[in-house]
Each structure stands twice: as C-alpha cells, then as structure tokens.
C-alpha cells in the first residue's frame, strides 16, 4: 500500500516543527516541510480578516508544485490561510491544523487543539499538552551519548528554554532556579546535566556554566542527541516554565518532572491551565522544593493516540 504523503506548513519555530513532524510520523506519512512566509500586510493581519487567496503568500512554490499530497498538516497562525487555500484548490486533501487556528474549525477536516486552549468545534480533537516528535525509544537509544560526562548515578537533567513574550529569563531569576537545584539536589549526591534549546541565548548558557559546571556537565550548544541522552540518564528532570512544547516532550522520558517557574511578564492563563492539568495527571510538580520521592505516571504519546483516531477518516 502506498504511503500517505503529507505537506507540513509552519512558521519555522522548533515547537511547531516538532508538532507537525510528530503528527506526520504517527500517521506513517512521508512528508515535506515548508516554512510559510506571508506578504505584507497579510503577515500582520489575523487569519479571520485575510482573504483565502494566493495573494497573501510570499512563496507560492508549495502551491504550484505538483507533489500529489494527501494531507496538509499546519501549525501556527501564518499557516492557516495557506492550508485553507490548498483545500479550496484541491478538496480531496485532508487538512489537519494543530493549535487554535483563530478561525472556525469548519475550514479544516480536523483541528487538534490542546485542552488548555479551550477551543471547541464538532471536528476538534483535544490533546493533553502539545503533540511532538520525541519517542521513548529515541531517548533510550541516545542514553550512552553523555554517559561519560557524568560520574554519579543520581542525575538531575535541566532543560533550559529562553526569553519570550511571557518570561524574561533575567539573571536573578535563573540564579534562584540554580540555587534551588543546588539546595535540593546537589547536597544529596546528585550531579547535573544542563541542556539548552534553540531559544536559549549564549549569555544564559554562559551563566549556567558559571553557576553549575562544577556540579556536572553543561552542554554549550544545541545538540539533539545530548537532549535525548539527558532524559535517558536522568533520575529527575527540571524544565523551565516558558515552553509547553518542551514540557510535553519531557513526558516521553517517563521521568518525574519539576517545572522551574519564573515571574511572568503578562497573563499566562493558558500556561496555568496546562500546569494544573499536568499536575492533576501526576506528571509534573510545580515546585522544586522539597525533593519528593520519585513518582511514576503513565507514559503516553499524544501524536500516536490521535493518529489512531484519524487513520480511518483519512483512508476514507
């Protein structure tokens, strides 16, 4: 049987790419990924006020190329109109949008929206946290990658995000997080592995090295194998609070997860609903102090769970 072919549309951010690729892989589809660029002024205008037309697109190659796609999987505001436009040109396409598209869900065959977005519709599937492409098997396969960087068998892996419109990542706040990790873990024989993400500025990596390198290993560049290995080796995982996608990816490890919170710059209602949901599910704890006994939760993969619901609909 021929494999499904999927066109993935995002704005190029890591979290979005992880979600569309995770969905495509779970569906068993071959995929091609395109970064969406919109023309001025449509790049500044919400989708609900934009025309369903090629006029909004800066790059039209993925519209004109004949790739015989079966599915379009889009994520992010700028990918909404291109997906709807492609469906208009070819009604046989099965279109899936991930996250709240800020338009009526009827424009897509399916919308996959996280529960904390509170977006509803007859064709909406709600996910618990963010969909992603990380699997438990990948994590285990990378275990040895950082094994020689650390001596203790008691390890706390710290995943660093970066500044966004919700969190500033000031030095003072980061030092408070590092101090709480020293107090909670280091005094009890733990070593640290610290891994940056694509959004982690160099100055934060340097601060982490200054404050924490003598207690373990600080990875000083973006390295997917190091990221996966840190999860595999960890006894506990600490993830900064700025990224729902990163916290959702950490769940694939099955390790107990602490969220390191910082002072927010603006309302974080969506984040708070997400933190409350994952705490109720027994996945995360929202306070690093005190150190709790390791806890377990049911490992799950939202992408696979949702893909299993969609496969028959796409086939038909």
CA pair distance 7, 9, nearest whole angstrom: 7
Contact in structure between 93 and 72 (CB atoms under 8 Å): yes
Q: What is the pLDDT of residue 129?
A: 86
CA pair distance 194, 158, nearest whole angstrom: 5
Continuous H helices in the chain:
14-26, 61-64, 80-89, 136-141, 171-184, 202-212, 224-233, 244-250, 269-280, 302-315
Q: What is the pLDDT of residue 88?
A: 93
Domains and CATH numbers, the chain: 5-133+303-315 (3.40.50), 136-285 (3.40.50.2000)
DSSP 185: T
- Sheet of strand 284-285, all strands in order from the earlier edge strand to the far edge: 216-218, 191-196, 155-160, 236-240, 257-260, 284-285
CA pair distance 300, 130, nearest whole angstrom: 12
CA pair distance 251, 258, nearest whole angstrom: 11
Q: Which residues does residue 182 pair with via DSSP β-bridges, in sequence order? A: none
Q: Which residue has the tokens 């800020």?
A: 102
CA pair distance 103, 120, nearest whole angstrom: 11
Which residues have a Cβ under 8 Å from the Cβ of 178 and sit 6 or more positions away?
208, 211, 212
Q: What is the pLDDT of residue 207?
A: 97
Q: What is the pLDDT of residue 159?
A: 98
Q: What is the pLDDT of residue 267?
A: 85
DSSP 66: -
Q: What is the pLDDT of residue 313?
A: 85
Q: What is the pLDDT along the chain (316 residues), one digit of tens a residue?
A: 578 999 999 998 888 999 999 999 999 999 999 999 999 999 999 999 999 998 999 887 777 665 689 999 999 999 999 999 999 999 999 999 999 999 999 999 999 999 988 999 999 999 998 899 899 999 999 999 999 999 999 999 999 999 999 999 999 999 999 999 999 999 899 999 999 999 999 999 999 999 999 999 999 999 999 999 999 999 999 999 999 999 999 999 999 999 999 999 988 898 999 999 999 999 999 988 778 788 999 877 889 999 999 988 887 7
Cis bond upstream, residue 41 (ω within 30) = yes
Q: What is the pLDDT of residue 289?
A: 74
The structure tokens listed for 35 are 């970064």
């Amino acid at each position: 049987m021929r494999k499904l072919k999927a066109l993935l549309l995002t704005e190029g951010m890591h979290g979005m790419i992880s979600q569309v690729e995770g969905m495509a892989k779970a569906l068993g589809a071959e995929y091609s990924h395109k970064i969406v660029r919109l023309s001025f002024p449509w790049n500044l205008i919400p989708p609900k006020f934009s025309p369903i037309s090629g006029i909004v697109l800066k790059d039209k190659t993925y519209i004109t190329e004949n790739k015989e796609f079966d599915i379009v999987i889009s994520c992010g505001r700028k990918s909404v109109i291109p997906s709807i436009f492609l469906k208009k040109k070819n009604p046989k396409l099965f279109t899936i949008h991930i996250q709240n598209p800020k338009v009526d869900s009827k424009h897509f065959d399916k919308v996959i929206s996280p529960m904390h977005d509170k977006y509803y519709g007859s064709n909406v599937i709600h996910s618990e946290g963010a969909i992603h492409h990380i699997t438990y098997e990948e994590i285990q396969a990378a275990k040895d990658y950082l094994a020689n960087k650390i001596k203790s068998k008691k390890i706390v892996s710290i995943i660093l995000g970066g500044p966004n419109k919700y969190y500033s990542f000031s030095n003072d706040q980061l030092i408070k997080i590092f101090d709480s990790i020293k107090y909670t873990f280091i005094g009890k024989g733990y070593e640290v592995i610290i891994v940056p993400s694509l959004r982690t500025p160099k100055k934060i990596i340097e601060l982490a090295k200054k404050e924490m390198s003598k207690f373990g290993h600080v990875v000083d560049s973006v390295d997917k194998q190091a990221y996966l290995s840190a999860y595999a080796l960890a006894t506990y995982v600490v993830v900064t609070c700025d990224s729902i996608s990163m916290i959702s990816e950490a769940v694939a490890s099955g390790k107990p997860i602490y969220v390191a919170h910082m002072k927010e710059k603006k309302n974080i209602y969506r984040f708070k609903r997400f933190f409350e949901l994952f705490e109720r599910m027994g996945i995360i704890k929202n306070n690093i102090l005190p150190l709790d006994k390791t806890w377990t939760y049911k490992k799950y993969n939202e992408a696979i769970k949702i893909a299993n619901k969609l496969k028959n609909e796409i086939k038909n």
